[in-house]
Structure 1
C-alpha cells in the first residue's frame, strides 16, 4: 500500500464532532477506505480534480464515467489532458494519467466511455458513494432519481455528492436518498438559460449571441428540417459558426468566434480552475468522512462565492413535499382559461422547476399528447389545438413525462379564477 501517513492522524484520532465516538474503530476506517467502491460521474474540470483527490486520499477502487472526448478548449483547466489527447475519451485518458502518475499497484481506476443512462441498475448498486462533477442538469436529475429509486425500492442508500461551479462561484452538497432533500428539490436555484426574443433575432440583432441563436433556432431548421442539431459534432458546429459569422458581418457585429458559438449552443458555463479545485476538494472530503466515519458529513448544502471577496454559507436545504422524486404530493399549476394544450406545453417547458424538453402528457391513464413514438404522436397531435378546458377538468391531475428522464411530474390543474392555494407554478 502507498504511504498514507498524511491521513493517519485523522483516521487514528477520532474527530471532536464524531457522532458515534464509542463505536468508531480506526481499523474499520482503513478497511472501508481501501475497499469501498466510488463512482465519479464526469471527468472534466471538476472530475479531473475529484479523481486526483480520491486517489491521493487513499481510495483504491474508483470508476469514472464520461461520454465526452477531449477538446482544445479543455486544456486550460482540465490538467490531466495534453495536446495529443485531443479527440480521445476523457474518462480513459484521465484514468490512465492518474494510474501512471501515482504508480500504486493497489489503485484501480476503471473508465467508462459511455452515457450514464447506458449503465444498468446492477452497475449503480455496486457503489458506496457517487460523486457528480457534471455540467448537465438533465444528467444530474437522472442519476438523482436513479439513486432515490434504489433507496425507495430496495432500501439501498447510496449518497450522491454533487458539485458544480460557475466562474468564481460554486456549490457542493450531500444528498442522502430518502433522508435529505434531493437535486430535483432545488431546480429553482439553478441559473436559467439566457433566452432572446425571436423578433430581435430575426430583425434587429445587436450581440454576437443574437447571431448564433438566429443560426441555431432559425437557419438550422430551415436548412435541415426535422434534423436535431448535435453540438458534439465538429462539422455541425463549424456550420453553425460560419452561418452566425455571415449574419454578424451583415449587421456589422463583432465578436462571433467558434468558441463563443460552441458556448452558446452547448450552454457552456464559464469555469475557473481554482474554483473547480475548491469545490472538488469539498466533495472529496465529504466522501472521505462518509466512508471512514471520522466526522459528520455536510448537512447538506455548501455555497461558495469568490466573485465579491469570499463568502461561504452552509445550510440544510429543505425537502419539498411536492418534489416528483422525493415528495409524495402533486404540485398545483395555474392554467389560463384560453390556453390550448399546445400553449400549456409551451408554458411548462419554459418553467425553471420543470425543465422538460420533450414532454408527454396523460390524465387518468388517457393520453393527452405523446411526443414519441411517432405513431402515438400522430394520434394525439390533434389535441394540441384543443382548449385545455375541453380536455381537463379543474383540479384534475396531469402526469408529465420525458423520455430523457426516469421520473414523472404530477400537477393539479387550477384554471383561472379557481385557485385554491397561494403556491402555484
Structure 2
C-alpha cells in the first residue's frame, strides 16, 4: 500500500516528465526509448531511483564503464552502451584485426586488418555517436594494475575465454569488503555484466560480488575443454583437429626445443598451420585451414552476428539498470537459444558462501614472526589455494611484486620482514593473493584469505586488503 508521501513523489516525478522540453523528451527519436526508462517512475525501480533529466546527465558524466573485449560481442557492446546514454567508456583488448573477423565484427573494415581491435572499435563508435568518449587500451588485461579497474562503476565482459573471465571476476571481487557480520559492504561492490555466445546460443548474466554468485561460484556451467589422446594425435589422426593438435602439442616441442608457444604470435600460428597441412596431406585428411587452426589452438568457438547483437542488447540493458536503478536487474542468468525457433530463459543461481573468490575468505592463522617469504611459500602448500609466484600488495603499497624486474628489485628486501609488521601490526585482516594456479600454470588466480596472528590481542577490527 502506498502512503500519501509515496503518491506525492510519484505525482511529482510524472510532472517532471511532462515538463521536459520537447527536444529532450520522447519526441527526440534518439533518446525516446531511453527517456521512457529514465524520466518516469515505475513499480520495479530500485530504492534510489529518481526519474528526471538529471539522472540522464549523471549517467553521461559519472557512469564510467569498462568493456573487456573488442571482438564480436565487444563491438556490439560499445555501440549499444554509447547509444544508451553512456558517454564515458573504455575498452581493453590485446588482439589485432584479422580478415576472419570481418564477417561478424561490424566495426572493422578490410583496411583495418592488422590494427588493434580496441583502437579501431573506439574510433568507429566515436565517429558515429556524437559526444561519446571511448579510451582504448591495446594490451593484456593482466597488464593493468588494480587502480585502473577500481575507477570504473561497472565492468562489462565480451570475452571468449574462461581464463580471462576468471581473472576479471577475481579482480572485481578483490574490491569487495565484508562487515563484522559477514555482510558485503554495498559501497565496495563492483558490478559486472557478462555476456557470451556460441553459435546460435548465448548467455547474459549479472554478477554483484557478495550478493549474486560470481563467476567462480558457477564455474561448473562451462564444459571442460575437449582433449585428444596423444596416441591418437601421434599415430592415428582421423580429423583436421587431430592434425592441428599434433603440430601444436607434439611437433612444436620437437622442433623448437622447449621454446614456449605463443598463440597470439601470428608467426607461431602460421608455423602450426603449415605443419598441420603437411600432417593432413600425409594421412589424406581434408579441412585444415588457418581459421580452423586458430579455433582449435585458441579454443575459439564460431560466432554469429545476430546472436552477438541479441546478447549485447541484454547486457547493455542490465548495465543501464545497474547504473540508473530504473528497474530490477536480471535474476541472474539469462540463456538464449536460437537453434530451432527462439527460446529464452532466466535462471536464478545461488551464491556459494564458501567461494574462495567472492566469499568472506579462507581462515589462515600465522605466527607474528612469519616472514613475507614464508607466507608466499605457504600459498603454494595450502590445500585450497595452490598458488605459486605470488606478488603481494597492502592498502595500495607493494610489499612484493614478481614483475616487472624494477618492482621486484625494489620490494625484494621486504621478503625477510614479518608479514605482521608489513601489515601495520594489526591482529587480523582480509588478504587477497594472486599468482599462478599450480594445476594450470597458464591461469592466474586471485584468492581471498582471512589472516590472523597467533598470540596477538584483538585490539582493532581493521581489515587489510593485499592483492597478489
Query: Deviation of residue 20 (structure 1)?
Result: 3.2
- Where does 1:37-116 land on structure 2 (aligned, <5 Å)? 37-102=64-129, 104=130, 106-116=131-141
Q: What is the CA distance between 1:24 and its match in structure 2?
A: 2.5
Q: In the aligned structure 1, how far is the partner of 2:53 from the partner of 2:88? A: 18
1:336-375 aligned within 5 A: 361-363=380-382
Gaps of 5+ in 1: 331-359, 374-398, 411-425
**Distance in 1 of aligned mates of 2:202 and 2:189:** 26
Residue 234 of structure 1, CA deviation? 1.8
- Normalising to structure 2: TM-score of the pair? 0.70
Does the 8 Å CA contact 2:170/2:447 hold for their aligned counterparts?
no
Alignment check: 8 A CA contact 2:387 2:436 kept: no
Query: Would the aligned equivalents of 1:290 and 1:297 in 2 still touch at CA under 8 Å?
Result: yes
How do 1:414-425 and structure 2 match up within 5 A? Answer: none
Give the direction of change, closer, same or farther, for the CA distance of 1:364–1:164 in structure 2 (3 Å limit). Answer: closer
Could you report, residue by residue, the CA deviation over 1:8-50 in whole angstroms, capped at 9, with x for unpaired residues?
22222223322438x5232442133212111111110000000
**8 Å Cα contact 2:388-2:436 kept in structure 1:** no
The corresponding residue for 2:444 is: 405
2:195 counterpart of 1:163? yes
1:349 alignment counterpart: none
CA distance change for structure 1 residues 235 and 368 in 2, over 3 Å: closer, same or farther?
closer
Q: Which runs of 5+ in 2 are unaligned?
A: 1-23, 179-184, 363-378, 391-401, 403-433, 450-468
The reply on whether 1:214 has 2:246 as its aligned counterpart is yes
Partner of residue 14, structure 1:
41
Contact preservation (8 Å) 1:400, 1:409? no
1:362–1:400: 8 Å Cα contact kept in structure 2? no
CA spacing shift, 1:127–1:16, aligned 2, 3 Å: same
Say which SS state the counterpart of residue 407 (structure 1) adopts: strand
Structure 1 segment 276-291 matched on structure 2, within 5 A:
276-291=308-323
Corresponding position: 1:273 with 2:299: no
| Cα distance in structure 2, aligned partners of 1:136 and 1:301 | 18
Partner of 2:460: none
- Residue of structure 2 in register with 1:227 after alignment: 259
Structure-2 change in CA distance of 1:50 and 1:215 (3 Å): same
**Number of residue equivalences:** 352
State the structure with bigger RCO (CA 8 A, min sep 6), 1 or 2. Answer: 1
User: Per-residue displacement from partner, 1:375-412 (whole Å, max 9, x unpaired)?
Assistant: xxxxxxxxxxxxxxxxxxxxxxxx995264242499xx
Q: Secondary structure at the match of 1:178?
A: coil
**Per-residue CA distance 1:75-105 (angstroms, 9 max, x = gap):** 0000000001011010100011111122x2x
Distance 1:182 1:312, change over 3 A: same
Asked if the contact 2:263/2:297 (under 8 Å) is kept, the reply is yes
Is 1:250 aligned to 2:289, yes or no? no
Aligned pair partner of 1:320 in 352, 364, 373? 352
Quote the RMSD (CA, aligned, Å): 2.6
Residue in 2 that maps onto 1:25: 51
The whole-number CA distance in structure 2 between the counterparts of 1:49 and 1:168 is 16
Shift of 1:329: 7.4
Decide which structure has the larger Cα Rg and report it: 2
